[in-house]
Structure 1
Amino acid sequence: MACTKRQKADLIVTNATVYTVDSVFTVAQSFAVSNGKIVAVGTNNETLSAYSADNILDLTGKFVYPGFIDAHCHFLGYGLNLPKAWLAGAKSWNEVVNRLVEHQNKYPTEWVEGRGWNQNEWEIKEFPTNELLNKAFPNKPVFIVRIDGHAAIANRKALELAGITASTKISGGEIVVKNGTPTGVLIDNAMELIRMHIPTPSKEQKAQALLNAQQNCFAVGLTGVHDAGLHADEVELIDSLQQAGNLKMRINAMLNPTHDNFEKYISKGIYSTERLTVRSIKIYADGALGSRGALLLKPYTDNPKTRGIQVEPTEKLDSVCSLAYKHGYQVCTHCIGDAAVRLMLDIYSKYLPKGNDLRWRIEHSQVVDPADLPRYGEYDVIPSVQTTHATSDMFWAVNRLGDRVKNAYAYQNLLAQNGWLPNGSDFPIEDINPLYGFYAAVARKNLNGEPQEGFQMENSLTREQALRAMTIWAAKACFEEDVKGSIEVGKFADFVVLDQDLINSEISNVPKAQVLQTFISGKNVFTKNQ
């Protein structure tokens, strides 16, 4: 009997339901890995008859997906935030301050820092004032950031250190004043007046933060992230940790538009290694809806005196786009409000020729005027969305927007413009778990299953679209769809094993799905403790 000699592979995965997320959404049983890349995909019989391996992973019917990719997050920022007080879910300002005191008693620091408070979840849905902070921390400076990262509150000590008074002026931000005294609330660029006085984390602290962030991300199945806003020294640190083999996460680094970044990276063109891509610039057009910093075409429904904040002058936004275009860099602009989206589409349209493949992105694309939707397709602009924002904001967004809420979180409408869109979480603003984003995209409900009928279901994504948005489309959003984002021959063997079928199981079970194992380049980087 003729016997075909089998090729040696490093790893063979068998007896699985493998969602390859290839162009036709093939479901396979098995695949083989050699030198970190996938060399065969098919049935158990097809793979095992062509390949042998000392390492055979029999998954006994479990479910395999391409490694999940978060297309917009703050990976380093998340790691740096881990030691700080986490204030999300607090039901009142009193609870926020009490949590802060408790955390500071356990982990005393020179500056009292925290993140996650959200006045929209309190009975009195207004910005707090800092009297309670002044009483709790009379001698230590306090700076705690709102959940969206676009507002903060500082105590009197911190305001004094920064020299902030009722008459202090700031472009692209706001110092909230009541009865002639700063309340401590700082919006958008005003936050930087305090930040410049907070000690900068050391290189060692940043390195540890990256490794801590990686560990938590592997545990939820993330094998790649797009870090939205980094400095050159931080990118160099990431590169060195990756080259040393300590940081295995694949990272697409979006650069802040600083002189240093232009000198070290942008002016020299695209920088790319097996795990790091540097070819994007992150800029901000406006603030956030929750802090009324999102720039709207018409005034806020619940505060007709304001339309929000344009955080950078139009000339600066334009000049960054011009430099990016000149050096072949992708532009990724934070736009929450419909006026910010229109502003950036106007600027983008000056540089982007019709039919381009430059993949300039509008991050968030949260409120988009219907007249502007077709312009995404016309100029091949990519809407980069975060589906959990819809379910976090849905109960109060209508207060800010009124009837315009129908133009918000319109993922199906945005998807229709180019036929694809990447999904991320914006963590630490939202949870790092990509399955929550999948669930929010499909069910349009929060983790409590509310609202029962789903939120604006006409813009929910199908399960296939939601899975593509966190795998192959997220890879495409940083020009890496040829090397990752699906389980196909020739691509990196980045994959995740789950105990549930995301495509066919009851949708309410999806957020409870367990990541059992995570692999990068065919190497196991996480196994759930049994």
Structure 2
Amino acid sequence: MKKTFLLILLLSVGSFAQKRPVDLMISNAKVYTVNAAFKIETAFVVDKGRIVEVSSLSNLQKKFSPKKTIDLGGKAVFPGFYDPHSHFIGFGEMLSQCDLVGAESFEEILERLKEFRIKNPDNEWIIGRGWDQNDWKIKEFPNNEALDAIFPDIPVMLTRIDGHALLANSKALQLAKISPASKVPGGAVEVLDGQLTGILIDNAMGLLKRVMPGETEAQMRKMILEAQKECFKVGLTTVSEAGASQEDIELLMKMHNEGSLKIRDYVMVSVGLRNLDYFTKRGIIKTDRINVRSFKIYGDGALGSRGACLLKPYSDDPGNSGFLLTSKNEMDKFFEQIYKSDYQANTHCIGDSANRLVLDLYGKYLKQKNNRRWRIEHCQVVNPSDVPKFSKFSIIPSVQATHATSDMYWAGKRLGAEREKHAYAFNDLMKQNGVLANGSDFPVEYINPLFSFHAAVARQDAKNWPEGGFQNENAISRKEALKAMTLWSAYANFEEKERGSIEQGKMADFVVLEEDIMTIELSKIRSVKVLQTWVGGERVY
């Protein structure tokens, strides 16, 4: 009897000794791996920030000895969410400004500004963002008369929701020495009856921004950390900085090296000859958190401010077809230099004229199918005859489904029925290469990736309107929508071998939700809460 007991003891000790020690085991979960088979598992183990194995709990318990085990009680687990097109630093800046999002009238904006001034009496400027005249009863651009009456002595700058137009009071315009005669290529200074209205569109905004006081490094750090905290709350583990300066990148790298920056950031360098020369000579910059390997090129403006470049004039502004922010010749030179490097070209194109021009310029260098993964950002209005060019040149459509559901109330007025019918054609675009990157463009749209997931699948707004969805033939499935904010976005960033799915060897970035967005009623998706967010095996929310 004694010998039998010793034998059993030795066998059990030997069995335990063979188990591999790991940091973490996630168990009793519904794990959407988003692997090639789109398999659903129940458990996985993590060690040193990476996924070691994904399988059943019973199988993993035979092989591994975790320091910590978390039983999720059947909750759904997804790969960490991507936002493939966002303005991470700009979002951080917005958090310190007067929030104008959702204001239903210009009068409401004025009240918000008064309250903001009371709370921030020492600010040199009053800066706000988020107004949208399409939400008001009078849907035309405002002017600065009321601003001047309330704030005659302090400069005020209010950026439109899309970031492509602003309203400034006279004090700010005087500081920038902007006059009715001021002109700038790729922009507009609005003048009415010989007087400035305060509206500056696209490149004209730079006339004002150049005289604004910049933030200190301490202020920038605080903004970035606040933005990071908000991203983790909604399950974002990787963002894409759509247009960063060299100084921005240096600060992000510094914070990464210090350990305070935990979110992963795919950085698009804001294009320009100085940045092009510097970064193409330096080469790709890659760490486990920062990936600098693309350039953001600015094709045209936005539809809401009538700056998107169209093949034919706006239906509600017959003398205006929008404009390019960067000339054809400039873009051609940029693409030529980028093509000779290892960098990716990511170009903002909203109107059908801008999309056609950039698709053709891309084709001049790409020539055929390839693995350069050049992207068009937004692709909101693409002429049907141009859609096949995405396939011909392996161009990735990077879209924001919430743009469709935010614009659907007034897009028909801008475009007319025929052009609107072919706008926001995300399903058609996805079919070209079998891939679609779907983000939010925050802070233009809300930061929550589940909003864009819902918009892509239901083609409805937060109130689940319209019934049946807006141009629902271009809706995508839940499976496709999940891939579009995980694996396909990782592919668009050259990161699909590292992230985007819960698979052996990949970084342990994952999200736990209170409800399963793959099975819950569509109308409830936007209300689903994030319970946990993990980056590299570390719980960050």
- Normalising to structure 1: TM-score of the pair? 0.98
1:60 counterpart residue number: 73
1:80 maps onto 2:93 in alignment: yes
d(CA) in 2 for partners of 1:383 and 1:449? 25
Q: Please identify runs of 4+ aligned residues in structure 1 that moved more than 3 A.
A: 1-4
Q: Counterpart amino acid of 2:537?
A: G
2:491 counterpart residue number: 476
Q: Counterpart amino acid of 1:9?
A: V
1:323 counterpart residue number: 337
SS of the residue corresponding to residue 9 of structure 1 reads: strand
**How far did residue 405 of structure 1 move?**
0.7
Q: Counterpart amino acid of 1:32?
A: V
SS of the residue corresponding to residue 426 of structure 1 reads: coil
**How far did residue 413 of structure 1 move?**
0.4
Match of 1:257 among 271, 274, 288: 271
1:155 counterpart residue number: 169
d(CA) in 2 for partners of 1:299 and 1:261? 34
Deviations 1:261-313 (A, max 9, x none): 23442222211111111110001110000000000011101111100011111
1:419 counterpart residue number: 434
2:363 counterpart residue number: 349
1:457 counterpart residue number: 472
- Normalising to structure 2: TM-score of the pair? 0.96
d(CA) in 2 for partners of 1:306 and 1:259? 30
SS of the residue corresponding to residue 356 of structure 1 reads: coil
Q: Counterpart amino acid of 1:402?
A: G
Alignment of 1:275-314 (within 5 A): 275-314=289-328
Aligned length: 526
2:4 counterpart residue number: none
1:90 maps onto 2:103 in alignment: yes
d(CA) in 1 for partners of 2:524 and 2:335? 43
Q: Counterpart amino acid of 1:310?
A: L
d(CA) in 2 for partners of 1:49 and 1:38? 17
1:7 maps onto 2:40 in alignment: no
SS of the residue corresponding to residue 44 of structure 2 reads: strand
1:28 counterpart residue number: 41
2:508 counterpart residue number: 493
Gaps of 5+ in 2: 1-7
Match of 1:50 among 45, 60, 63: 63
The structure number with the bigger radius of gyration is: 2
**How far did residue 353 of structure 1 move?**
3.2
Query: Are the aligned partners of 2:510 and 2:534 in contact in 1 as well (CA < 8 Å)?
Result: yes
1:179 counterpart residue number: 193
d(CA) in 2 for partners of 1:466 and 1:7? 36
Match of 1:372 among 379, 386, 391: 386
1:165 counterpart residue number: 179
Match of 1:435 among 429, 450, 467: 450
Q: Counterpart amino acid of 1:50?
A: K
Percent identical pairs in the alignment equals 48
CA RMSD of aligned residues (A): 1.0
Q: Counterpart amino acid of 2:371?
A: D
Query: Are the aligned partners of 1:232 and 1:260 in contact in 2 as well (CA < 8 Å)?
Result: no
2:399 counterpart residue number: 385
Which sits farther off after the overlay, 110-119 or 199-208?
A: 199-208
1:209 counterpart residue number: 223
d(CA) in 2 for partners of 1:6 and 1:353? 53
**How far did residue 417 of structure 1 move?**
0.5
Query: Are the aligned partners of 2:96 and 2:223 in contact in 1 as well (CA < 8 Å)?
Result: no
Gaps of 5+ in 1: none
Query: Are the aligned partners of 1:296 and 1:340 in contact in 2 as well (CA < 8 Å)?
Result: yes
SS of the residue corresponding to residue 190 of structure 2 reads: strand
Q: Counterpart amino acid of 2:523?
A: S
